[in-house]
Amino acid sequence: MKTVIEERWGTHPDDVKRYDTAQLRKEFLVEKLFEADSVLMTYTHNDRLIIGGALPVKEALKLETVDLIRSEYFCERRELGIICIEGEGVVTVDGKDYSMGFKDAVYVGRGSKEVIFKSNDAAKPAKYYFASSPAHKEYPTAQITSAMRRTRDLGVPATSNERLLNQIILSEIVPCCQLQMGMTEIKEGSVWNTMPPHTHSRRMEAYFYFKVPAQQAVCHFMGQPQETRHIFMGDEQAVISPSWSIHSAAGTSNYTFIWAMCGENLDYDDMDTFTADKLR
């Protein structure tokens, strides 16, 4: 197996105003998250979030620690959220197996020493997207079942933002420190997510876009509300959103994305919203 990690630095909004397209993509876009029999990760200094993907095909994959976090094992000082986005498999945490299919998730508490990703069928391997943040307290590892997920129907067809919000890892669902994760499914005929957009100064976020059809794209909007920027993204790519930045997107087709947040608090609705007419 192979483990690869990239490092991304924090940025000041005044600096980002001067970025051209290439620089914007270099700093915020994560272009590749999956490679057969590999674990690919990106470490951002924005709240020290790690996002990554594991694709076990011919072999099981162990989540190894990396030099950037200087720990004996990956979750020594971290909590971890894992969501299966394709195929079926098993995630094993310290010897306990958790069966995984689409939308199934596992919260891995700080202090868990071994995390292993497996696929049931090499011809249809499981794809696991994960996010990890520093944790100040240990909470039990737990699987989030379909019965535990919280869903909200949001938006309306008239404004092209009809979508299903799946809240998966929240403190109200499973005890956790900083990390929150969920999946939003844009319904056919709609294109917008997170509209009206918002910022949340007390935490940062990362968006992972997938189920983007071939030859289609998602245009992710970021930046301060009065100084927005955009990044065109393809299937199975992610974008880092600092706490000062909005995060919203429109696609040339419907799509699905996973959001992962960490930071100062766990209040999901703690955000500053901006109506579309206020954006520049």
The Cα diameter of the chain in Å comes to 53
Q: For residue 58, give the amino acid letter.
A: K
Is the Cβ–Cβ distance between 62 and 115 less than 8 Å?
yes
Give me the half-sphere count of Cα atoms (radius 13 Å) on the Cβ side of residue 33. 24
DSSP string, 72-137: SSTTSSEEEEEEEEES-EEEEETTEEEEE-TT-EEEE-TT---EEEEES-TTS--EEEEEEEE-SS
Is the Cβ–Cβ distance between 82 and 105 less than 8 Å?
yes
CB neighbours of 215 closer than 8 A, spacing ≥ 6?
none
**Binding site residue list for Zn(2+):** 198, 200, 205, 247
**Binding site residue list:** 198, 200, 205, 247
Identify the DSSP state of 194. Answer: S
